[in-house]
Structure 1
Amino acid sequence: MNFEILNNCHGDTPQKRLILLFAGWSMSARPFAGLTMPGYDIAVAWDYRDMSAPWLKTISDYEEIVLVAWSFGVHAAARFLTAHPTLQITARIAVNGTRFTSDDARGIPHDIFQGTLSTLNDRNIIKFHMRMCGGGTAYKAFSSTAPERELGDLRDELQAFDTDPAPKMLWDKAFISRGDLIIPPSNQHTAWQYEAMDIIEIEGPHIPDFGALLRRCLTDKTHVAKRFHKAEVTYDGNAAPQLACVTRLIDIASGHITSNIGKMLEIGCGTGLSTALAIRHFSPAQAELWDLHIPRQIRTIAETATTAISAKSCDAETEIRHIADGSIDLILSASTVQWFNSLPEFLRQVARTLAPGGYAVISTYGNNTMREIHSTVGSECRFPGIECVRKAIPHNLEVIHLSEEINIVNFQSPIEVLRHISLTGVNGIENNGDNTAKACRMLRGYPTAPDGTAPLTYHPIYMILRKP
């Protein structure tokens, strides 16, 4: 495979996180030269005639790797992941592709695949790219950055694709373009029915707007940390919905966990609202607290608690890989994992690190959260629904409890909603350069009640998991 790390205007200092994009057949890194995502380096892999990866050492230095696979790159990426299971992969995101290549029901129909191979010439490559782009106008823009590869190489690459499906695995998201003229959307839906946590239909052709797609489903964690750092002084006084969620989570867990806990790991301790409740109810002998930013309130809790408390500023998605197998009795995480790039991978690590008989007590926010804001500004909520959460739970964890709620908080006006999300830092994922314009659209079009009050929806999902 060929490989290139793109210049994403980050300067000479490499990011801790990498997006590894497996491109489709006939591609190179050239069409993706302008692709950026705040907080991440981006690398492109292409040309699957030879599946060896001499560049593995280069990417092994990253703390987190998000794998994005497009078109036939999905098939190649699945083979790559199977061959290299120790890489620091979090999210697995498929775009307009499946683990099948030539397949009448789950990939490109066999006759079309063979027809493309048997009639391959320069003219037909242009036709293929035109269909890939969805028409002549889009192709004209694409042609200025089109791959520059030899026809014989493309023929060899197409012949090299194994007609057998790639290994089966659970992907976080499978994006399917309604206007895909290369791999029939119906075939993609069939292929992903049981193999993706979330199947998401998008508008557009076979090649999507990758910049918009990445911003839609990945978190700029550095920005999130800055938002919560800024809000640490004002958070407790303005986080009534979050406190209600934490209280409900601990109440549910208290009905199932009755004995004292040895070691507790809390992921996303925030200002300590959940920490204090958990210590009071579960009396852990030790508690290790993680968050992207550790606020000063945690120091006060540590000084007064009978539990031995330590705190670490870190990214839990990557840090949990360093925890020994079976070493934690209770993993607590309240209203945090919605920021993670991969809930399935995080829960796999939870299952590994829990001791036999240990519990995971977790709340997240579901896809109806802040629906008023999303509908007004025309954005999509990236948080999963409860059925997606259910799919993400690994088979080696027993589901003790899984439920959801819809909580609506009423504010005096839309501007008070904006003030709430600013003072709590909860909109940290919005970092795409047009937040001022979005705020203006929100204030103009926010759905208000007859008395002028502005509702804001929170959609908590609660899960209590046990390792047998």
Structure 2
Amino acid sequence: METELLKGTDHNTLKVVFLGFGQDLTPFSSLNLSSDTFFVYDYEDDSADFSVIYEYKKYEVIAWSLGVMMSDIFVSKVEKKPWKMTALNGTPFGINSEKGVDAALYKATLDNLSEDNMTRFYRRMCGRGQEFAAFTKVKPSRSLVSFKNELMFLAQKSTAHRAGKIVWDEAFIGLKDAIIAPLNQERGWQGHALNLVKLDAAHYSAQFFKDKLS
């Protein structure tokens, strides 16, 4: 697991951002951050140090895709709780054919992992319009080995995690999401989020991150 703290204009509060599968900081490095932001990504192990949250009076969690499950695990274990939790296109249930990522689709991604298929994954993640064209210019720089390790680790975490104990403040669901079905997301959040917001967006939304982090 990789982490990096980037400084914003406000140093009093912290945003902890759990990214989705297959990511690094490259797509997010050009954002003008409004607050100090602690990015979490590349889930290959449990090695991350989250002690940074104790250096701030309060912090909030913003999580995307399978990062929602990983942040749910983090918050369930950490003593200092966030003041707010926001999710985009993910659920606490991770890999779950009814309430998260379809298990068969996930297995197919792992079994057929290749450079070409990762490009196809990013295309489905972004949609086929300008979002994908823009993402290809800043796509993550990672190896196939790291992708495979991450997929296997996330599968293990999904099997072990008992989701549903934490109530999130807000969950955004992209109606054009081709990675995690919007219906699955709705089922996953039933009783576990105070507010559900539907967006005209694909699985990845650059505008969402700009709105939440800039």
If you compute each CA radius of gyration, which structure gives the higher value, 1 or 2? 1
How far apart are the structure 1 equivalents of 2:7 and 2:134? Answer: 21
Q: Which residue of 2 aligns with 1:81?
A: 75
Instruction: Confirm or deny: 8 A CA contact 1:180 1:205 kept in the other structure.
Output: yes
Instruction: Confirm or deny: 8 A CA contact 1:37 1:211 kept in the other structure.
Output: no
- Which residue, 149, 152, 159 being the options, matches 2:142? 149
Q: Is 1:58 paired with 2:52?
A: yes
Q: Is 1:29 paired with 2:32?
A: no
Which deviations, in whole Å up to 9, do the C-alpha atoms of 1:118-158 show, x marking residues without a partner? 00000000000011111153212111211101101110110
Residue type of the partner of 1:210? F
- Structure 2 residues not aligned, in runs of 5+: none
Which aligned pairs between 1:7-406 and structure 2 lie closer than 5 A?
7-8=7-8, 10=9, 15-38=11-34, 40-54=35-49, 56-87=50-81, 89-161=82-154, 162-164=157-159, 165-168=161-164, 169-208=166-205, 209-214=207-212
Instruction: Confirm or deny: 8 A CA contact 2:93 2:163 kept in the other structure.
Output: no
How far apart are the structure 2 equivalents of 1:110 and 1:211? Answer: 27
Q: Which residue of 2 aligns with 1:337?
A: none
1:16 is paired with a residue whose SS is: strand
Residue type of the partner of 1:22? F
How far apart are the structure 2 equivalents of 1:84 and 1:74? Answer: 15
- Structure 1 residues not aligned, in runs of 5+: 216-431, 433-468
Structure 1 residue 160, shift from structure 2 partner: 0.8
TM-score, length of structure 1 as denominator length? 0.43
Instruction: Confirm or deny: 8 A CA contact 1:35 1:210 kept in the other structure.
Output: no
Residue type of the partner of 1:80? F
How far apart are the structure 2 equivalents of 1:210 and 1:166? Answer: 28
Q: Which residue of 2 aligns with 1:6?
A: 6
1:163 is paired with a residue whose SS is: helix
Instruction: Confirm or deny: 8 A CA contact 1:22 1:69 kept in the other structure.
Output: yes
1:102 is paired with a residue whose SS is: coil
By relative contact order (CA 8 Å, sep 6+), the higher-ranking structure is 2
Residue type of the partner of 2:173? I
Q: 1:148 to 1:166 in 2, by over 3 A?
A: farther
> Size of the alignment, in residue pairs?
209
Residue type of the partner of 1:116? T
TM-score, length of structure 2 as denominator length? 0.91
Cα RMSD (Å) of the superposition?
1.8
How far apart are the structure 2 equivalents of 1:15 and 1:98? Answer: 29
Structure 1 residue 163, shift from structure 2 partner: 3.5
How far apart are the structure 1 equivalents of 2:30 and 2:15? Answer: 14
Structure 1 residue 212, shift from structure 2 partner: 5.0
Instruction: Confirm or deny: 8 A CA contact 1:51 1:80 kept in the other structure.
Output: no
Which deviations, in whole Å up to 9, do the C-alpha atoms of 1:26-85 show, x marking residues without a partner? 1011211123453x212210122212322x233321112110010000011011112212
- Greater than 4 Å deviation, 4+ residue runs: none
How far apart are the structure 2 equivalents of 1:127 and 1:46? Answer: 20
How far apart are the structure 1 equivalents of 2:17 and 2:125? Answer: 17
